[in-house]
Amino acid sequence: MGALPAQPENSAPGRSLLDPFGRAITYLRVSVTDRCDFRCVYCMSEDMAFLPKRDLLTLEELDRICSVFVGRGVRKLRITGGEPLVRRDIMTLFRSLSRHLDSGALDELTVTTNGSQLARYAKDLAACGVRRINVSLDTLDEDKFRSITRWGELPKVLQGIDAAQAAGLSIKINAVALKDVNEDELERLLEWSHGRGMDLTLIEVMPLGEIDGQRIDQFLPLSAVRARLAARYTLEDLDYRTGGPARYVRVKETGGRLGFITPMTHNFCESCNRVRLTCTGQLFMCLGQEDAADLRTPVRNAESNDQLERAIVDAIARKPKGHDFVIDRRHARPAVGRHMSVTGG
């Protein structure tokens, strides 16, 4: 597949996207597929029904929408999934979007991955200007890894991390804290990550989508995790930000950074600067709300970006102040019905 066609740039003073609360939208997370080669127990059911390919945005359409957002002041693009690196010809999109890094319109192009395809793509990602990636990894125990991911192979992920570091990519490990699953090895994950020069971010499980089992049984409040870690390590609060919701501390004993993403116990919505585009062209202004705007129709209806820009501006005008995440203890149902793999991690 050849290079994607360049789309017209439209950055100009006063064209930044502001939501009703005065927050500038500078961060777009883009899901390129709902498919994944894992079936993580907190993310999806084992027997998932994936979207028909005709419903998915083409790589050209993804590039066009991303370029309009960049023209309206978005400075950071994160490519997500599903597992984004299983999307066919995905490097074509990375190569095309890298032009915004070259022009200075974009500060960062990055990706969140489960690591299964990194051994294959790490060098290509670095060549496209990707400098920093997130790898989702919840355990260093091979049997437990297989239990959590159902289909995953830990050695393959570790080889991918080796390849990414060899390619010069900076890595942050994302670990979902799961009660009675990996809570006993969070210290090990921390020391392993920091020992390899990688940041670690811990994430509370979120009530998205129907899964096998109950999230109430998985939920582990990070306030309790932080208190436990503080009894063993010296945690120093940092002002460091990556553009996302994590809040960081420096672990004095290891010298590394540790982040906490707490959508349940402390959501940090007041500083939200991001929106999410699904692989079908739905723009979610908030991960924890069902309201979405259709961008696929305007991008397919006209060669001009006028309709697309209007749809984006109208959508940002509806961005809520915050989400309503709560794990429903009475009815054991998710707060939001769609799976994380549909919205993008």
- Dump pLDDT digits (tens) for 117-159: 999 999 999 999 999 999 999 999 999 999 999 989 999 999 9
Q: Is 2 part of any domain?
A: no
> Is 300 marked as binding a ligand?
no
**Within a domain: 14:** no
| Residue 308 within any structural domain of the chain | yes
> 73: alpha, beta or left, given left = phi > 0 and alpha = psi -120 to 50?
left
Least confident of 22-26, 155-159, 195-199, 289-293: 289-293
pLDDT at 203 over 50: yes
In a domain, residue 287? The reply is yes
Q: What is the pLDDT of residue 337?
A: 47
Please indicate if the annotation marks 271 as binding a ligand: no
Residue 285 assigned to a binding site: no
Q: Considering the chain, what percentage of its residues have pLDDT values greater than 70?
A: 83
Other CB atoms within 10 Å distance of the CB of residue 104: 8
In this structure, the number of other CB atoms found within 10 A of the CB of residue 260 comes to: 23
pLDDT at 94: 98
Lookup: tokens for 141: 């125990």
274 labelled binding-site residue: yes
**Structural domain contains residue 172:** yes
Residue 20 lies in a domain: no
Q: Is 150 annotated as a binding residue?
A: no
Q: Is 128 annotated as a binding residue?
A: no
Tell me, yes or no, whether 13 lies in a domain: no
Q: Is 215 annotated as a binding residue?
A: no
Q: How much is the pTM?
A: 0.86
In whole angstroms, give the CA distance from residue 246 to residue 237: 12
**Is 32 domain-assigned?**
yes
Task: Indicate which CATH number applies to the domain containing 279.
Answer: 3.20.20.70
- How many domains does the chain fold into? 1
Flag whether 36 is marked binding. Answer: yes
In 3-state terms, what secondary structure has residue 36? coil
Annotated binding residue 66: no
Range of the domain at 338: 27-343
Both tokens of residue 249? Answer: 């501390």
Average pLDDT over residues 272-282: 94
Tell me whether residue 279 is annotated as binding: no
Residue 196's φ and ψ, nearest 5 degrees, are -105, 10
Q: Give the residue from 325, 227, 220, 315 showing the smallest Cα distance to 269.
A: 325
Pair of tokens at residue 341 = 């793999």
- When the pLDDT of each residue in the chain is averaged and rounded to a whole number, the result is 87
Residue 143 identity: D
Token digits of residue 104: 């200075």
Residues in the chain: 345
Q: Is 172 annotated as a binding residue?
A: yes
Q: Among candidates 299, 244, 230, which has minimal Cα distance to 273?
A: 244
